[in-house]
Amino acid sequence: MSNTAWETLSNQAVAMAGLVYFIALLVHLAEWAALRQPAGELVAAGVGDGSGKGLETVASQPPRPASETGERIAFLGRLGFLLTIVACAVHFVALLGRGMAADPNRVPWGNMYEFTVSGTFVVTLLYVVLHKRFGLGWMGPIVVGFVLTVLMVAVIWLHDEVAPLTEALNSPWLVIHVVSAVIATGTFTLGGIASLMYLVRMRAERRAAAGERELSGWIARTPDLPALDRLAYRVHAFAFPVWTFAVLITGPIWAHEAWSRYWNWDPKEVWAFITWVVYAGYLHARATAGWKGRKAAQLALVGVATLWFNFIGINYFSTTSQHSYAVEQFIDAPPAAVQLPNLLLSEPGHDEFGS
Amino acid sequence: MTTRPSGDRPAKPDARERRPGELTAREFARWIWRQISSMRTALILLLVLALAAIPGSVIPQQGVDSLAVTRWKDQHPKLTPLYEHLDLFSVYSSPWFSAIYLLLTISLVGCIVPRLFVYLRALRAQPPAAPRHLTRLPVHASYRTDLSPDEVLDRARKVLGRRHRLRLATTGDDAVSAERGYLREAGNLVFHLSVLIVLAGFAVGGLWGYQGGVILVQGSTFSNNLTQYDDFKPGGLFTQQQMKDFRFSVDDFRVDWLKKGPRAGQARKFEADLSYKVGQSEAKDYTLKVNHPLNVDGTEVFLIGHGYAPVITVRDGKGDIVATGPTVFLPQDATFLSFGVVKAPAAKPGQIGLEGLFYPTFEMVDGDPVTVFGDDLFPTLSLLAYTGDLGLDDGRSQSVYVLDKSKATPVEGEDGKPFRLDLQVGDTVELPDGLGTVTFDRVDPWIRVQISQTPGKGVALVGVVLALIGLCMSLFLRPRRVWVRAVAVDAAGTGPDTDDADAGDTMDGTGGTRVEVAVLDRSGNGETDEILARLLAQLQEAPK
Ligand code: HEM
């Protein structure tokens, strides 16, 4: 297959994946809508009993439908998940195509478009892989909706043709650094969704308690608060060391080789550091009385915000970043021009000719 | 502690009166210390650190991009003094930013050192004895078996002993106590202490390291001493003795230009052939590439930029060569349109200064001169000439990249307009008024290298790697305690905890042993139910 063919395939696969995500989203939304039927029709659907028992309780008890509605809900849930798996596979083809289209072939992490397509792929992949173990069925619509939105942003605003890597990116550290950063990003995003649900459910529970009614609708299908908190913690606890590895070990090693300084407070580095510190704060918050639960969950959301801001936003905010992949560069930003005011005043030997 | 205010004893009449809540200096110090080393303070300091890091990513930083700082200052003359006052152009070395992380460091020491001692003591302690009512713990189970209590406890010791530390058995015990996951806290301690190691490594680099940059034209030689650098940023405690004795020459420089595809015009595969010599040793060759620095005895040389140096020869009115050789032109953007200056103060009858642009691949597009490619396919110079006083005679130092035109006048052509020289390689142009001639001989490439010493980088690396290991231990190990109690159930059915509802099933049989198992997760995140189920299965398995 020619490079152009691979690139076309990749573009088509992204569109295709988007379409399948969209259908999956519709199916999940139909599932949610069905869940909103009068509560009486459903027997408390596999919700944790509030005793703080493991997530497994939730996972191993799929909604027990009392009627045909229940069956339909279960069917829609399974269909939505199946579609997500299909979309995930097509999504992978899109990435593969990007890598194969380049000359020479390379990892598909050369520019923002490719980072974003990879990051969203990891979100879906993790969701699919962890679906059974952690009982993530309730998360379906949120994950699919998120991935679809970000993919659309990528296609509309970030799309870029396949091109060879800039020289500074041409390093084995690219693979190690970016793989870990992208995995951590995907995982933090999932953790953020769990924390978000924690806050949403907390509010719903408080409202329900005030109105003296049971939780109903899809919110009743999410795990109970302790289980959500534990899920969020687990996911973050996995992502945090990976992020540490990406931004505090491989990043500096690579920066040292490419730019001579392992840490230069470049805006991208600053925000990676901020993200890291915020998540360290989250882990502390979970161990601090008065910060457990709600405040910790809020911190996790701040973490995701800084993470995605760094991923996409900072490139538009600051032009001085050596990480501004969007900009065409030679080795990095024209260093001689940048250093102009620094350049020392005439030194013998560098001064006038002939004099 | 005689000074402690006490409510139950009337204050001595001669004692200085103390208002409620007033503390002695010592108590105050202790209170401060407790505040500083509390988890909540650590948390808040972490968040403050995150906030404090933000301005430096929005406002240009001196250490990152000094040109951007200058530009910003020009655009915001009103804000500049305020920003300078607040150190906003060098956030990460400012006193207030340092204060935050220093406080955090103190807090960390205050928190971790006491925990270290607690941990060392806990390491030697035995797992605690079983609580009286195991069935009151949140995660527990009980069952009946025909084995004798001793057999059950033996089995429990065997099963648990593989991966737990057991409490020493004493006669008359009716329970086994087991504990595991001691390394979690060790990991936590290692992580936090490693943060200190990283900070130390970072500080060493900042104090004793240096970075210097220099532009070297192909064919030139650099020897490592201060006078040869274009710019040099030493750490606070840097001394010249640190500089290693080496020199190198740039023998050749190659660039691979992409001629087609979406990135046509982009350059790749920058390679500079160096030959270098350390001290008096033999010369060696090295191909310097991006991502492949040359390490000379702890000092590293990086290739970080390149450009063009047109070779221009200026002859004065008498025909004498007054300036010749490659002149470094600085690229203005990614097209490598470059700007440069030639000065010939010794020229007679008048000094000659040239200033202008270099186009690597010149073309007229819609009447405008542009360079259509970064490669030097059709190199063209377009210069303006100046004469008069170039400001070089009074001994003040001047940048080689700037022409001082304050006392110089533009050379004019016959039409009265400024005289422009457009030259291709090989061209010679005669200046008006018998000032002389300018020849464009050829183009040499130059490279910009960064030369730096970063002591402490190994320390910092070891620190982060240790931190990562500690972190993983701390996050993934699940410390827990497990108790198994076995009590013979006599005919009257008086097992332990007969008040408990779970005990009901022991009532309908007589004899045998009632076994209670409880699991206490100490990290708050374990899958205790699963662990309990597995343990029960192992205990009840037929003995092998
Ligand atoms: C440079 C600043 C700090 C960073 C980056 C940091 C980071 C972390 C991280 C990532 C964790 C999670 C690992 C775990 O759960 O064991 C943690 C836990 C912990 N940190 Fe820190 N920390 C810092 C400062 C401090 C300070 C100043 C204290 C003392 C007040 C402290 C006390 C603790 C404690 C007690 C835990 C264990 C919490 C638990 O048992 O789950 N840390 N820290």
CB distance B196 to ligand 1 below 6 Å = no
User: Which positions in chain A touch B266 (Cβ < 8 Å)?
Assistant: 163-164, 166, 328, 330
The confidence score (pLDDT) of residue B543 equals 57
DSSP string, B106-162: HHHHHHHHHHHHHHHHHHHSPPPPPPS-GGGSSSEEEEEESS-HHHHHHHHHHHHHT
A209 and A130 in a common domain = no
The answer to whether B435 touches B198, Cβ cutoff 8 Å, is: no
The answer to whether B387 touches B352, Cβ cutoff 8 Å, is: yes
Q: Do B475 and A241 touch (CB under 8 A)?
A: yes
Which amino acid type is present at position B346?
Answer: A
Rounded mean pLDDT of A213-228? 81
Atom of ligand 1 nearest to the CA of B188: 16
Q: Which of A300-304, B213-217, B407-411 has the lowest mean pLDDT?
A: B407-411
Q: Are strands B480-488 and B140-145 parallel, antiparallel or unpaired?
A: unpaired
Q: Are strands B330-331 and B513-521 parallel, antiparallel or unpaired?
A: unpaired
A197 and A143 in a common domain = no
The answer to whether A204 touches A219, Cβ cutoff 8 Å, is: yes
Q: Phi, psi at residue B224, to the nearest 5°?
A: -75, 80
Q: Phi, psi at residue B444, to the nearest 5°?
A: -110, 145
Q: What confidence tens digit (pLDDT) does each residue in B160-174 have?
A: 888 888 888 777 778
Q: Give a yes or no: residue A97 inside a domain.
A: yes
Which of B460-472 are b and which e, b meaning 16 or more Cβ less than 10 Å from the residue's Cβ? bbebbbbbbebbb
The confidence score (pLDDT) of residue A241 equals 96
Q: Do B230 and A342 touch (CB under 8 A)?
A: yes
CATH code where residue A31 lies:
1.20.120
Q: What confidence tens digit (pLDDT) does each residue in A286-345 have?
A: 888 778 888 999 999 999 999 988 877 776 665 554 543 333 333 333 332 222 222 222
Task: Report the half-sphere exposure of A292 (CA within 13 A, side-chain side).
Answer: 11
Number of cross-chain residue pairs from A and B with Cβ atoms under 8 Å apart? 264
A332 and A288 in a common domain = yes
A20 and A97 in a common domain = yes
Nearest-CA distance from B504 to chain A in Å? 22
**CA gap A350, A348 in Å, rounded:** 5
CB distance A280 to ligand 1 below 6 Å = yes
Q: Do B262 and A163 touch (CB under 8 A)?
A: yes
CB distance B194 to ligand 1 below 6 Å = no
Q: Which of A264-278, B19-33, B231-245, B270-284 has the lowest mean pLDDT?
A: B19-33
By the CB < 8 Å criterion, does A309 face chain B? no
Protein residue whose Cα sits closest to atom 4 of ligand 1: A280
A113 and A197 in a common domain = no
Q: Which of B479, B443, B487 is nearest to B145 (CA)?
A: B487
Question: Does position A51 have pLDDT exceeding 50, yes or no?
Answer: no
Of B397, B398, B525, the CB nearest to A230: B525
Question: Does position B427 have pLDDT exceeding 70, yes or no?
Answer: yes
Rounded mean pLDDT of A91-117? 82
Ligand 1 centroid – CA B522 distance (Å): 16
Q: What ipTM describes this predicted complex?
A: 0.81
Q: Do A284 and B46 touch (CB under 8 A)?
A: yes
Q: Which of A115-119, A196-200, B38-42 has the lowest mean pLDDT?
A: B38-42
A270 and A121 in a common domain = no
Residue with token string 């951590």:
A184
Look at residue A52 and give its three-state secondary structure.
coil
Q: What confidence tens digit (pLDDT) does each residue in B469-507 have?
A: 999 999 988 888 898 988 888 755 454 444 444 444 444
% of residues, chain B, pLDDT over 70: 89
Does residue B232 or residue A56 have the better pLDDT?
B232
Does residue A218 or residue A141 have the better pLDDT?
A141
Rounded mean pLDDT of B315-321? 87
The confidence score (pLDDT) of residue B504 equals 43
Domain boundary among A161, A185, A214: A161
Local confidence band at B532 (pLDDT 50, 70, 90 cut-offs) = confident
The confidence score (pLDDT) of residue B230 equals 86
Which residue of A238, A283, A286, A299 sits with most ligand 1 atoms within 8 Å of its CB, as the best mutation to test the pocket? Answer: A283
Nearest-CA distance from A37 to chain B in Å? 33
Extract the tokens encoding A354.
Answer: 């002939």
Q: Do B230 and A355 touch (CB under 8 A)?
A: no
Q: Give a yes or no: residue A180 inside a domain.
A: no
Rounded mean pLDDT of B24-31? 80
- What are residue B423's DSSP bridge partners? B381
A248 and A101 in a common domain = no
A144 and A276 in a common domain = no
**CA gap B37, B46 in Å, rounded:** 13
A311 and A271 in a common domain = yes
The confidence score (pLDDT) of residue B17 equals 56
Does residue B528 or residue A294 have the better pLDDT?
A294
Which amino acid type is present at position B167?
Answer: R
Atom of ligand 1 nearest to the CA of A283: 12
The confidence score (pLDDT) of residue B9 equals 43
Atom of ligand 1 nearest to the CA of B101: 1
- What are residue B418's DSSP bridge partners? B412
Domain boundary among A161, A180, A214: A161
Q: Which residues contact B206 (CB under 8 A, 6 or more apart)?
A: B235, B236
A152 and A15 in a common domain = yes
- pTM for the full model? 0.82
Rounded mean pLDDT of B42-59? 89
Ligand 1 centroid – CA B33 distance (Å): 17
Question: Does position A351 have pLDDT exceeding 90, yes or no?
Answer: no
A201 and A151 in a common domain = no
Local confidence band at A276 (pLDDT 50, 70, 90 cut-offs) = very high
User: Which positions in chain B touch A317 (Cβ < 8 Å)?
Assistant: 57-58
Local confidence band at A125 (pLDDT 50, 70, 90 cut-offs) = very high
Q: Give a yes or no: residue A222 inside a domain.
A: yes
Which amino acid type is present at position B36?
Answer: I
What is the residue-averaged pLDDT of chain A?
A: 77
Q: Give a yes or no: residue A263 inside a domain.
A: yes
Q: Give a yes or no: residue A78 inside a domain.
A: yes
Atom of ligand 1 nearest to the CA of B104: 27
Domain boundary among A161, A184, A214: A161
Which amino acid type is present at position A312?
Answer: I
Q: Give a yes or no: residue A152 inside a domain.
A: yes
Question: Does position B392 have pLDDT exceeding 70, yes or no?
Answer: yes
Rg value, chain B, Cα? 39
The confidence score (pLDDT) of residue B7 equals 40
Q: Give a yes or no: residue A94 inside a domain.
A: yes
Q: Which of A338-347, B18-27, B86-95 has the lowest mean pLDDT?
A: A338-347
Does residue A291 or residue A246 have the better pLDDT?
A246
Residue with token string 């599932």:
A31
Nearest-CA distance from B247 to chain A in Å? 15
Q: Do A342 and B231 touch (CB under 8 A)?
A: yes
Which amino acid type is present at position A311?
Answer: F
Extract the tokens encoding B328.
Answer: 């470094």
Extract the tokens encoding B92.
Answer: 């990460």
Q: Which residues contact B262 (CB under 8 A, 6 or more apart)?
A: A160, A161, A162, A163
**CA gap B200, B126 in Å, rounded:** 37
Q: Phi, psi at residue A93, to the nearest 5°?
A: -60, -40
Domain ranges, residue A109: 1-36+68-161
CB distance B107 to ligand 1 below 6 Å = yes
Look at residue B39 and give its three-state secondary structure.
helix
**CA gap B85, A291 in Å, rounded:** 36
Which amino acid type is present at position B188?
Answer: N
Nearest-CA distance from A142 to chain B in Å? 25
Q: Which of A201-215, A320-334, B19-33, B266-280 has the lowest mean pLDDT?
A: A320-334
Residue with token string 């605690």:
B128
Q: Which of A240-249, B278-287, B523-532 has the lowest mean pLDDT?
A: B523-532
**CA gap A248, A254 in Å, rounded:** 11
Q: What confidence tens digit (pLDDT) does each residue in B443-468 have?
A: 999 988 889 998 888 999 999 999 99
Protein residue whose Cα sits closest to atom 32 of ligand 1: B39
**CA gap B179, B175 in Å, rounded:** 13
Q: Give a yes or no: residue A167 inside a domain.
A: no
Local confidence band at B542 (pLDDT 50, 70, 90 cut-offs) = low
Rounded mean pLDDT of B512-541? 82
Q: Which of B405, B42, B290, B52 is nearest to B188 (CA)?
A: B42
Q: How many residues does chain A have?
A: 355
**CA gap B75, B317 in Å, rounded:** 44
**CA gap A60, A79 in Å, rounded:** 19
CA dihedral of B434, B440, B444, B448, whole degrees rounded to 10? 50
Does residue B418 or residue B394 have the better pLDDT?
B418
A219 and A264 in a common domain = yes
Q: Which of B311, B107, B118, B89 is nearest to B218 (CA)?
A: B311
Which amino acid type is present at position B277?
Answer: K
What is the H or E stretch that residue B66 is in? helix B66-75
Number of domains in chain A: 2
